[in-house]
Amino acid sequence: MSAIDPATVPTQLFDWGRITWRVSPDNVPGTGITVGDVVIFPGKGHDHHTHPGSDEVLYVVAGRGEQTVGDGPAFPVAAGDMVHVPRGVLHSTHNTGWSVLHLVAIYNPAGAEQALRDAPGFREIGPGEQATLANA
């Protein structure tokens, strides 16, 4: 096993940001989790949604935002924070800052990432391609 170079896996693009799945069953045979590098653009976010079959853990690497989990009120998140979203619970994440909100997302078990392919505006660029304004 070796380090997973982000240039060796595809990146998913959305109107709100991008995700590079560094660890998934697609590129790490036999893994039971999915780990993604997530960037949410300033002022953007994704709507409430659920992952019926997977728990999600979010780790905030940089930036600040607002998170919802279940019926509770939105709460602020910032670098160093971690959020657990139980499977099947509605949640959303929005960037409230002036710079990107950088997260690491972990699904357990793997598989919830497949639903993103049906999201509005979904696009994917191949391994090694750079996300630019032209393809973002």
d(C-alpha 61, C-alpha 13), whole Å? 19
Q: Phi and psi (nearest 5°) for 103?
A: -125, 160
Looking at CATH, the fold of the domain delimited by 6-125 is given as Jelly Rolls (2.60.120)
Q: Specify the residue for token string 């997973």.
A: 4
**Structure tokens belonging to residue 124:** 């994917």
List, for residues 77-86, the tens digit of each pLDDT value: 999 999 999 9
Separation CA 27–CA 48 (nearest Å): 28
Residue 80: is it exposed, middle or buried by C-beta count within 10 angstroms (0-12/13-18/19+)? exposed
- Look up the pTM and report it: 0.92
For 12-49, the pLDDT digits (tens) are: 999 999 999 999 998 999 999 999 999 999 999 998 99
